[in-house]
Amino acid sequence: MFYRDAEHVLRLRAFEQFSWLIHGFGTRWSPSFGSCRNLATVRQIHSDRCVDAGGRAGVLAEGDALMGNSPGILLGVKTADCIPLLLVDERLRAVAAVHAGWRGTAQQIGAKAIRFLSARYGTQPQDLHAAIGPAIGKCCFEVGPEVASLFGQPANGKVKLDLTEALRRQLLDSGIPAGRIYASGLCTMCGGSEFESYRRDGAAAGRMLSVVGVVERSA
């Protein structure tokens, strides 16, 4: 489903059917991936705030979900354990890049991003495809009872949380067909040195850039 290209960027085969789409999940080994003039990002604050790029590039605002449909503008989010989520409306050619950690996921950022796309671009959830990139897996994501309870997982001590599954359910509940939700299943913490992991490396961890956008000259 996902594969690594020659530049160590993870790509989703299902997205390659769209000739008008650019996408990819950068790794530690693709440091220059996506760093071009026409990159739009947000100052990520672990919120549920959605931002419309509206054809602009640069650091646009505080928020954790970035939407757009302008050819030539790449939307990017940076992660190291949190989930990078890319949404693609195949009918209207609108896209979104979402940074979903446990705080954002608990605040329903997946569902809110879809509602925002609907409000701004007229997206219907059944036209969306969703790619969930490498993030900390259930294997490694130990949380305390206060975080677990936010995900309906009552606990006395530490428990393992499946953040990707929580986000996947949010997307399903929002109306994206199950067959159009693709998860890499790769864990940033134990999946190898190709990934940046904040939990593993602390302050030494870099960030991986994931991008989505519409090609400059649409086919």
The residues of the shown chain that bind Zn ion, judged by CB under 5 A, are: 137, 139-140, 187, 189-190
Least distance (Å) between residue 198 CB and Zn ion: 13
Q: Which is nearer to Zn ion, 39 or 190 (CB)?
A: 190
Q: Which is nearer to Zn ion, 116 or 141 (CB)?
A: 141
- Give burial (CB, 10 Å; 0-12/13-18/19+) of 41: buried
Q: How far is the CB of 24 from Zn ion (least distance, A)?
A: 22
How far apart are the C-alpha atoms of 110 and 114, rounded to whole Å? Answer: 7
In 3-state terms the chain splits into helix, strand, coil percentages (rounded to 5) of 25, 30, 45
- Least distance to Zn ion, CB of residue 189, Å: 5
**Residue whose CB is less far from Zn ion, 92 or 190:** 190
Cα separation, 152 vs 45, in Å, equals 23
Closest approach of Zn ion to the CB of residue 142, in Å: 10
Closest CB to Zn ion among 182 and 195?
195
Indicate the SS3 state at residue 170. helix
Q: Which is nearer to Zn ion, 85 or 187 (CB)?
A: 187
Distance in Å, CB of 126 to Zn ion, minimum: 32
β-pair partners for 129 = 88
At residue 212, the 3 state secondary structure works out as strand
Please give the biggest Cα pair distance in the chain: 55
- Among the listed residues 130, 199, 138, the one whose alpha carbon sits nearest the alpha carbon of residue 163: 138
